[in-house]
Amino acid sequence: MEKNWPEERVEALVAWLAGMIEAAGAKGAVFGLSGGIDAAVVGALCKKACGDETLGLILPCFSSPGEVEDARFVAEELGLPYRLIDLDDLYLLTAGRLSGEEVNGAEREPFFYNIKPRLRMIALYHWAARLNYLVVGTSNRSERMIGYFTKYGDGGVDLMPLGNLVKSEVRALACCLGVPERIINKPPSAGLWEGQTDEGELGLTYEDLDRYLLTGEGRPEVIERLREMEEKTAHKRRMPPLPEA
d(CA 185, CA 171): 9
Domain assignments of the chain as residue spans, ordered by start: 5-195
Residue 121 pairs in a beta bridge with none
Whether 154 sits among the annotated catalytic residues: the reply is: no
Nearest to 206 by CA among 163, 164, 171: 171
The CATH class for the domain spanning 5-195 reads alpha beta
For the beta carbon of residue 130, count every other beta carbon within 10 angstroms. 10
Burial of residue 245 (CB within 10 Å: 0-12, 13-18, 19+) is exposed
For 68-95, how does the pLDDT look when each residue is reduced to its tens digit (9 = 90+)? 999 999 999 999 999 999 999 999 999 9
Query: 55: which residues sit within 8 A by CB, 6+ positions away?
Result: 28, 29, 30, 31, 81, 82, 83, 127, 131, 133
Whether 38 sits among the annotated catalytic residues: the reply is: yes
Nearest to 160 by CA among 144, 178, 181: 144
For 127-167, how does the pLDDT look when each residue is reduced to its tens digit (9 = 90+)? 999 999 999 999 999 999 999 999 999 999 999 999 999 99
Is residue 199 scored above 90 in pLDDT? no
Is residue 245 scored above 90 in pLDDT? no
User: Looking at 143, 198, 208, 210, which residue is catalytic?
Assistant: 143
User: Looking at 38, 107, 154, 158, which residue is catalytic?
Assistant: 38
62 within 8 A of 105, measured Cβ to Cβ: yes
